[in-house]
Amino acid sequence: MGQWLLQIEKKILAFLMALSSIALVLVGIIITFFLFKEVYHLFTFALAIDTNTIYYDALESILSFFLFFEFLTLIITSIKNQGHVSLSFLLTLGLTALIRLLLTYHDQVFGLVVIAISIVLLLFGMTLVLKQEKGEQHEN
């Protein structure tokens, strides 16, 4: 009876892993579409005659491009590693997102301070994770 349940569990797990991989590929295709759409917008902004009025639109398009690029990189990494993504990679994505937010956020000083403190905390966390990963590599 125990072996039978174990086999059912393995089949369900294999089905869910396949479904997860298919979903990741579909999301990757959609993100790729939006990535190229942002590239198109960047080219139209670059060829525009009146660049003073579309400066912020171009900046928003550039930031959106990098956001889509980071998500696509995350999906590719996840597919390559069968659903596993390293903590240092996720911390790097968070750090770049916060830096991008810091560049565009100008509403309140308190918000800027919170974002800056978050960046420092992420840098501290990345340092700890990288030291731990380096220590594990030397042990092997």
What per-residue string of b and e applies to 75-112 under the rule 16 or more CB within 10 Å gives b?
beebeeeeeeeeeeeebbbbbeebeeeeeeeeeeeeee
> Does pLDDT of 26 surpass 90?
yes
pLDDT in tens, 48-78: 766 665 677 777 778 888 888 888 888 888 8
Supply the pTM of this predicted model.
Answer: 0.69
pLDDT score, position 50: 67
Q: Count the Cβ atoms, other than its own, within 10 Å of residue 38.
A: 19
> Does pLDDT of 136 surpass 80?
no
C-alpha span between 102 and 121 (Å, rounded): 15
Share of the chain above pLDDT 90, in %: 13
> Does pLDDT of 102 surpass 70?
yes
**CA-based nearest residue to 73, from 89, 60, 59:** 89
